Structure 1
Amino acid sequence: MKPYDVVRIVSDRFIEAGVPPGSIGVVVDQHPGGAVEVEVSRPDGATIAVFSARQDELEPVDPRSLGPRPELPEADQAIFDTLHASHLDFRDPHRVEHHLYFPTHPAAKRAVQELRAAKYKLRQGPSAEGDEWLVRASHTTLLDEQLIAGTISAMRRLAASFNGRYDGWQVQDIK
């Protein structure tokens, strides 16, 4: 197994980390001696766990067997097209920031609580216009269209649940 291979966890050794057998992960690194580093994430891209595993604790998975990839909205696909044209290294993780707007400070605070529980780094304050609250939620992730599409979907649901709106994302660490 090599980095970026999709794997199914077949061992119960990772249950305490929140990863039961059958969970799907991605190999993110190889160690001498054959062990690999695996990341298991939620559909919205938030990391559940990162751990070292022996190859006999994993089985390869054909990503096509996991179902259709979510489609990105046109504007988000345009961002990916621009990133590809910039020759950004998609093999490395990058810091991605999502922008959510809420009508009131209490609504923003409730959203921040949920985002904090999902391990996002957060900044919040009045929007530039001052009539809404802006929440910036950032995380480090691979720039994978499926992961980003899942995160966008989760962010839209979260914003809507507090009468807010999701206003897009950007990669913060482009050089």
Structure 2
Amino acid sequence: MEGAKGAFRLGPMAYWLLKTEPETYSIEDLRREGRAIWDGVRNYQARNYLLRMGEGDLCFIYHSSTNPPGIAGLARVVQTRIPDPTQFDPESPYFDPRATPERPRWYTVEVAFLEAWPLIPLKELKALFPPDHPLVKRGNRLSVMPVPPEVAERLIGWKGSR
């Protein structure tokens, strides 16, 4: 599959879940802006998942810290391996004094809005995800995680049946 800027992607498309607090940044904010850099991730495992993303991958946008939490829409990765600009900004809560433009520590992706969905609440997601998936495991706070292809297909079908 040919991606933006001539990048070639080997292998099938992958699926991801990106958590956000809707009071900070919601699917409606992404709809309004069209595209956004998914900045501010400060967990090494989540950062490593961001580094594995490829152009064209689909991302389920999950609203957390709200009642009820759940998947609110869909986005597509349009650019990868972007040094997170917030790590260099001393005014940002995500500033990292050990990061430099020559040696960034944190990376992100740019996503483009695809669709807003009627919220699929976590209670319903528990029936779609495997019980050992980080989204449905109690106490997990990971903000970026892979979604198995079979779950992604069910989610897309689930959304269409609502």
Structure 1 and Structure 2 fold alike (TM over 0.5): no
TM-score (norm 1): 0.24
Using CA pairs under 8 Å that are at least 6 residues apart, name the structure with larger relative contact order, 1 or 2. 2
| Structure (1 or 2) with the greater helix fraction | 1
Q: Of the two, which has the highest radius of gyration? A: 1
